[in-house]
Structure 1
Amino acid sequence: MNVANPSLEYRTRPSEDLLSGASNEDNIPPIRRYIRIALRWRYVMIGSVVGCLLLGLVVTLLMKPKYTASSTIEISRESERVTKFQGVDREASEADQEFYQTQYGLLKSRSLSERVAQQLRLVNDPKFFEMFGVSSDEDGAFAQAGGRYTVQGRTARLRIAGEVLRRNFAVTPAQLSRLVEIRFTSRSPDFSAKIANAYAENFIQTNLERKIQATSYGRDLLQRQLAQAKERLDESQRQLVRYASAQRIINLPGQPTAQGGTSERSLVADELQSLNAVLTQATADRIQAEALYREQGRAGASGDALRNQAINALRQRRAELASDYQRMMVQFEPGYAPARAIKAQIDQLDKSVSREEARVTGSAEAAYRQASRREAELSARVEALKSSFLDLRTRSIRYNIFQQEVDTNRALYDALLQRYKEIGVAGGVGINNVIVVDPAVVPDSPSSPRIFLNLALALLVGIGLGSILAFALEQLDEAITDPSEVERLLGLPLLGTVPKIVNAEPREALLDRKSALVEAYLAIQTSLAFATEHGVPRSLAVTSTRPAEGKSTTALALATMLARAGQRVVLVDGDMRSPSVHMLAGVGHEIGLSNYLTGYDNLNSIIFPVDDLGLSIITAGPLPPNAAELLTGNRLSILVERLLESFDNVIIDSPPVMGLADAPLIASRVEGVIYAVESHQIRSSQVKAAIARLRGSHARIFGSVLTKFESKKASYGYGYEYGYSYGREDK
């Protein structure tokens, strides 16, 4: 045959094929690997799923029904503060979730649960503890006297009742809202609704109590600070008055300030301001009087004279008389009596005008001198007041410091007083940010057990447990389930794979030339043609790790295939402990190998032809007491040499390797060994140990044959059975 088997390339390139064999598994996609593991251990996974489903169904049917009641409350964030005093309250930002997490924690607090238990009188209710299966012997808290619980155990019972409520209580906040759902689960629907409503009511009450308590703390703090501020204000005021009295600083109340107080002004400053205004007016009067005085002329041309009515009347009269006198002078002499009379009147009028003008001029001078004296006096007074004011300013520096301290203490006192009043008002109002939106109602249907949910969970658990078991078994399983694992795990080239034969004897399968067994061993024969330089080894042994792995069938099948190829083949049963070749060939083993090894030389008498298979056999012969002693001599080597003179191939069915010395002894007498490995059964660690023992005896191993292979059980099956069944119909 000229057909090359790729598996034989391992003999010439062992390291490369080993790497490729290892990488073949690594190249498999993880999903395919997991699917094949699941298919291989499918019965384990199915059993796990079915068991979990049955267990879930039984547990669900045995569970007592429970009822869940829920009430909904709204928790608003407090955006406003009761007071503006720093430290009394803290304003929460819109993005601050700390407030709501705190509220959820308060709902789950131990104190609230114990408050509910105490309000509903659950501490002394035996039915409550019996409902939740609380042991009546725990801590001696349930001791009874006269059919009632004792008072001594009340504290312990309260703690236990609170823990029971907390275990069956749940807080579920609604996403992106201020609504919170309070749930309680028990065996009684009425009790569940009562507890849920009690939780909501008691949470609102405790919230109000905390606010009142916090307000009381703030009021007490402000009251203490208010007393201290009042004491500081009184002391600063007394200090200011003492200093003002000592320095004789007198201030008058002024205009109200923007801060709500009043400004003060000193008496000296007020007087200086007034005198300064009077001095300014006096200076103006003096300047005006001086101007009038300077305007007086000797001809009576002053403004006052021109405006004087008496002088103007005298001047008018004189002008009239002067006119009459001039007319008379035209006709008469100055001595004329009427003329002299008119002249006398004119002279008298001139004297009168002069006297009036002198009087007017004297009055202006007197007014000027009086204004000058008054200005000088006021100026002197102002200068004196300026000196006094400067001295007062020097003495008022410390006074102002005391005044500022008084103002500061008064402002702080007023602010604290205002806040104290606000806290008093807020404490009486009792603002609450928690309201009940939907009170709990008695549930109509139980919340648990939920059979479909439990079965779904049981299914998931079963799948998970089955997967874990499948992966664990896959890791723990050392059986060779795939042909590619032979080279990767054992380091031996794979000569071929032999399918498992069901409902047929090996001899019958070999007689059917279209059977899968024949096809498999024909492929193995082809692989052996490349095992040595001269083709199929002339002498070889077939062994395995333990009995019943298919080594005898392999030896018989190889001998049959070689015989059908025209070779003269003899099959020697080397297993003198548990012979089987005589049964496969249908002959007895009264005489055979053991006879020859003990000195019997008639070779032809121990060779039996098998006509239907076309080969000859040598049975094991009578079973010796110790087969290993017979194999230690050179009789087996002589037998092989004599058989090769008459036959083309000598095949020895060797005993298993583990625990026996026969197989290494036989392997050292032939060209090499074919190692039969049973798939799905033998552990790879045992095979490695057996191969190491063979190699320790310097035996040559041509390769391995994977026997009893079932493709459906393969971890990474490649459809091996397709080649064996091609062209045949399943009967």
Structure 2
Amino acid sequence: MTASTADAKSGPMLTNTTTAQGADGGFLLSVREIIENVMRGIRKNRWWILAIIAAALILGIIIGLTTTPLYEARSQIEISRQQDNVTQVEGVTSEIDLRDPMYYQTQYELLQSQTLAERVVLELDLLNDPRFMGALEEGEEGLQAAVDPQTQLRRAGARLRGQIGIAPVGLSSLVSISYRSPDRTLAADVANAWAEQFIAGNLDRRFSSTNAARDYLEDQLGELRQRLEDSESQLVNYAADQGIVTFTGEEDEAGAGSGGTTLAGSNLQALNAELARARAERITAESQLEGGADIPSANASAGALTTLESRRAELQAQYDSLTETFLPDYPQARQIESQIAAIDAAIARERSRIATENSATLRRARLRESELQTQVDQLTNEYVGQQRAGIQYAILQREVDTNRELYEGTLQRFKEIGVAGVGNNNIAIVDRAQVPNSPVVPSWPTIILFSLLLGGLTAAGFVYIREQLDYTIQSPTDVDDVFGLPLLGSIPKTDADLVDAATDPFSEIYESYLTYRTNLNLLTDRGAPGAFMMTSTRPGEGKSFSSVMIAELLARAGHTVILVDADMRASRMNKTMSVGNRPGLSEVLTGNAAFDNLDLSPGSDELHFDLMNAGAKPPNAGDLLASESFPALISMLRERYDHVVIDGPPLLSLADAALIGAHVDGAIMVVQAYATKIRPVQNALARLGGANIPVFGVLVTKLDQAREAYGYGYGYGYGAGSDEDTQRGALGAS
């Protein structure tokens, strides 16, 4: 039966199990495998990891002890968004700059400028300060060697600029200025001087702008003054030539004239008023004259006429009263009648006088109106002529007003600039740098933390590279990926006695082999193979131990089992099982002993299988295995036993295992974890495949519990038996 046939037979049962496991927790299994690999790598290389981290710590301590101590002093300034303006006078610089976010970025750049660094060098006289010049670093020897003072200043400023630290404080307007030096006093001096010189430089720039503005405005004032004088002179000369006499009007807020009234215009306005009054008087006189002679004019007295008319009314009333009683010729009636006639004559005379007065008043009104109209016409002609000349006069007047406004505005600005220079600076020192008490370099917490980090990263890289270069089986889960074969069992490393391990059903090693037996039962539709060989690439991988364990577990399951030690070249089974050098396989194959006469006891009454040891070491084991006696022996054993377990020799470069495998159902490859190289196993499997020997799967042995994140035998088998209760139930059944 070939390997493909074995896989095909076991496929239906195995596929269902793995499919269910993948559907329930494939992702979690992958994560668990990753964690297992990491933990296994850490446990496997724990001493290397500790050594690397310890070396990093020692290196960090050495560096810290040999590092020159540096002291850091820190000052803090505030750059206000808007400066205090105690004078309420606008300065030369635009306030928009103070509210613009780019303003702060500009200030940060100015804080790190070469000019500011040179100001600090000059302020503290650092070129002659041994604390600064004596701490030159490698490559700065040219600082002292510079002969040109300007070059020396520039180089010292560049060095100081590279050592200063500028750090804005969050989203505030505060800026931290720090400086480190081996001298603690120098560190504080430089940090404070840097803040002070930055403020001084800012004031210098402001006053420089103010002075430039004053000079410019002073030149503008001279030009504007001359232009104002020239325009005023032209206005006066033109008015004199044209005979324009004006009365000055009111001035507006800017001081410009709001216009004036000429003499002709003023006279014309007064005459127009007089003419209007004369015309009104004439119209009144005409209305009175046309209304009747007895209507007095405004200037005539109407008192006498009114008195006469009132007296006549009284007499007429008396007369009418008497005539009602007496005859008209009654004496008293005739007397009253004569009085009425006299009063009528007086009334007629009074009305004649009033009519004469009204006519005279009308004549006077008409004459005055005519005279005023003549004067108004004359002044109107004169005023119209002046109005034509007034157009040019107004142009000259506006020019005078414009020049006056420009001159007075410039003069006011010139005065304001002088006052604006006394405003408070928008930059202030919040905290002055204090002389530090302890150095910041070396910082032991930082050194320790960095050393641990560096050591951890180095150790991680070392472990990763070492694991990548380690071509051994690190985990049972690697079997399928590396060899393309199913994992039949994962056996932990143990120091227990073989017989004790095979007879203690509650030990971890026993349960691991119980999983192995369960997986063997799933290999074929008839259960475990009838005859199979246990082999490995080299001695010492646990092949013989595993052969004894599986033989005992198969026997405990109620099967008849014989274990054949076929490693006739270097057998250790007789010592392991304490059976001595009794006849065995080599004697049967050579015909020196009959099988029925052999002692097949396993060396312990607690074991339930038969054991055929290797026997005496033959001169050429390969010839015996290639003889017809060996397949005849295997056929006979198949008939007598349910299972024939052959503890075969290691493959190496020998042909013994291939000769044995040709007469059994298949082979099981035993691989020692962390020790067996992958390439030899692949070569051995290729040799078995070339000989058409089926390989049922791989049994991984000697797993180190300290390297594994989880237990053994519970999840590495791909068949049933991974649950502990199931394991113990199977033991009870067996």
TM range (shorter): 0.7 to 0.9
Q: Quote the Cα distance in structure 2 between the aligned partners of 1:648 and 1:87.
A: 111
Q: 1:16 to 1:230 in 2, by over 3 A?
A: farther
State the match for 1:436 in structure 2: 429
- Structure 1 unaligned segments of length 5 or more: list them: 1-6, 144-149, 313-349, 727-731
SS in 1 for 2:411: helix
- Identity of counterpart residues, as a percentage? 33
Q: Quote the Cα distance in structure 2 between the aligned partners of 1:83 and 1:227.
A: 27
Shift of 1:193: 2.0
Aligned-pair RMSD on alpha carbons?
A: 5.2
Deviates more, 1:416-425 or 1:30-39: 30-39
Check the 8 A contact 1:543/1:674 in 2, yes or no. yes
Shift of 1:540: 1.2
Q: Quote the Cα distance in structure 2 between the aligned partners of 1:552 and 1:411.
A: 118
Q: Quote the Cα distance in structure 2 between the aligned partners of 1:242 and 1:473.
A: 109
Q: 1:176 to 1:605 in 2, by over 3 A?
A: closer
SS in 2 for 1:123: helix
SS in 2 for 1:618: coil
Q: Quote the Cα distance in structure 1 between the aligned partners of 2:698 and 2:238.
A: 121
Whichever residue aligns with residue 417 of structure 1, its letter is: L
SS in 2 for 1:443: coil
Q: 1:612 aligns with which of 602, 605, 608?
A: 602
1:203 equivalent to 2:198? Answer yes
State the match for 2:376 in structure 1: 382
State the match for 2:117 in structure 1: 113
Q: 1:231 to 1:99 in 2, by over 3 A?
A: same
State the match for 2:367 in structure 1: 373
Q: Quote the Cα distance in structure 2 between the aligned partners of 1:103 and 1:219.
A: 26
Q: Quote the Cα distance in structure 2 between the aligned partners of 1:194 and 1:233.
A: 57
Check the 8 A contact 2:584/2:598 in 1, yes or no. no
How many residue pairs get aligned? The number is: 663
Q: 1:280 aligns with which of 276, 281, 301?
A: 276
In the TM superposition, what are the counterparts of 1:281-680 in structure 2 within 5 Å? 281-287=277-283, 290=286, 297=293, 306=301, 365-366=359-360, 368-383=362-377, 385-386=379-380, 400=394, 403-404=397-398, 407-427=401-421, 429=422, 431-452=424-445, 454-459=447-452, 462=455, 480-487=473-480, 490-502=483-495, 506=498, 510=502, 517-545=509-537, 547-562=539-554, 567-573=560-566, 580-581=572-573, 584=576, 604=594, 609=599, 611-613=601-603, 614-618=610-614, 621-622=617-618, 624=620, 637=631, 640-641=634-635, 643-644=637-638, 648-656=642-650, 666-680=660-674
SS in 1 for 2:205: helix
Whichever residue aligns with residue 278 of structure 2, its letter is: A
Q: Quote the Cα distance in structure 1 between the aligned partners of 2:620 and 2:219.
A: 115
Structure 1 residues 81-118: Cα deviation after superposition (integer angstroms, max 9, x where no partner) = 79988984123677x55444443433233322222123
Check the 8 A contact 1:38/1:45 in 2, yes or no. no
Shift of 1:58: 3.8
Structure 1 residues 189-212: Cα deviation after superposition (integer angstroms, max 9, x where no partner) = 221222222122212211111111
Check the 8 A contact 1:574/1:652 in 2, yes or no. no
Shift of 1:615: 0.8
State the match for 1:322 in structure 2: none
Shift of 1:258: 4.1
Check the 8 A contact 1:85/1:419 in 2, yes or no. no
Check the 8 A contact 1:73/1:435 in 2, yes or no. yes
SS in 1 for 2:121: helix
Check the 8 A contact 1:481/1:680 in 2, yes or no. yes
Q: 1:482 to 1:407 in 2, by over 3 A?
A: same
Shift of 1:616: 0.4
Whichever residue aligns with residue 142 of structure 1, its letter is: Q
- Structure 2 unaligned segments of length 5 or more: list them: 1-6, 308-344, 604-609, 715-721, 729-734
State the match for 1:60 in structure 2: 64
Check the 8 A contact 1:594/1:620 in 2, yes or no. yes
Q: Quote the Cα distance in structure 1 between the aligned partners of 2:597 and 2:390.
A: 147
State the match for 1:69 in structure 2: 73
State the match for 2:127 in structure 1: 123
Whichever residue aligns with residue 186 of structure 2, its letter is: F
Q: Quote the Cα distance in structure 2 between the aligned partners of 1:293 and 1:589.
A: 184
In the TM superposition, what are the counterparts of 1:12-161 in structure 2 within 5 Å? 12-18=12-18, 24=25, 26-27=27-28, 34=35, 37-38=38-39, 41=42, 43=46, 46-79=50-83, 88-91=93-96, 97-135=101-139, 137=141, 140-143=142-145, 150-152=146-148, 154-161=149-156
State the match for 2:705 in structure 1: 711
Q: 1:645 to 1:304 in 2, by over 3 A?
A: closer
Q: 1:303 to 1:165 in 2, by over 3 A?
A: closer
Structure 1 residues 362-417: Cα deviation after superposition (integer angstroms, max 9, x where no partner) = 77655543432331232244345556656766675676566555544543443233
1:190 equivalent to 2:189? Answer no
Check the 8 A contact 1:212/1:430 in 2, yes or no. no
Q: Quote the Cα distance in structure 2 between the aligned partners of 1:496 and 1:301.
A: 153
Q: Quote the Cα distance in structure 1 between the aligned partners of 2:236 and 2:620.
A: 138
Q: 1:176 to 1:518 in 2, by over 3 A?
A: closer
Q: Quote the Cα distance in structure 2 between the aligned partners of 1:213 and 1:580.
A: 103
Shift of 1:422: 1.3
SS in 1 for 2:535: strand
Q: 1:467 to 1:20 in 2, by over 3 A?
A: farther
Check the 8 A contact 1:249/1:392 in 2, yes or no. yes
SS in 2 for 1:212: helix
Whichever residue aligns with residue 124 of structure 2, its letter is: L
Q: 1:366 to 1:514 in 2, by over 3 A?
A: closer
SS in 2 for 1:261: coil
Deviates more, 1:21-30 or 1:371-380: 21-30
Structure 1 residues 321-361: Cα deviation after superposition (integer angstroms, max 9, x where no partner) = xxxxxxxxxxxxxxxxxxxxxxxxxxxxx99x98x999997
Q: 1:700 aligns with which of 694, 699, 702?
A: 694
Shift of 1:500: 1.2
Whichever residue aligns with residue 650 of structure 1, its letter is: V
Shift of 1:474: 6.6
Q: Quote the Cα distance in structure 2 between the aligned partners of 1:258 and 1:38.
A: 90
Q: 1:243 to 1:524 in 2, by over 3 A?
A: same
Shift of 1:262: 1.4
Q: Quote the Cα distance in structure 1 between the aligned partners of 2:116 and 2:658.
A: 83
Shift of 1:579: 5.5
Q: Quote the Cα distance in structure 2 between the aligned partners of 1:176 and 1:381.
A: 83
Structure 1 residues 433-482: Cα deviation after superposition (integer angstroms, max 9, x where no partner) = 33334433333333443434543554455556656666776777665455
Check the 8 A contact 2:231/2:400 in 1, yes or no. yes
Deviates more, 1:167-176 or 1:80-89: 80-89
Q: Quote the Cα distance in structure 1 between the aligned partners of 2:297 and 2:524.
A: 166
Whichever residue aligns with residue 12 of structure 1, its letter is: P
Check the 8 A contact 2:559/2:643 in 1, yes or no. no
Shift of 1:671: 0.9
Shift of 1:604: 3.9
Shift of 1:272: 2.7
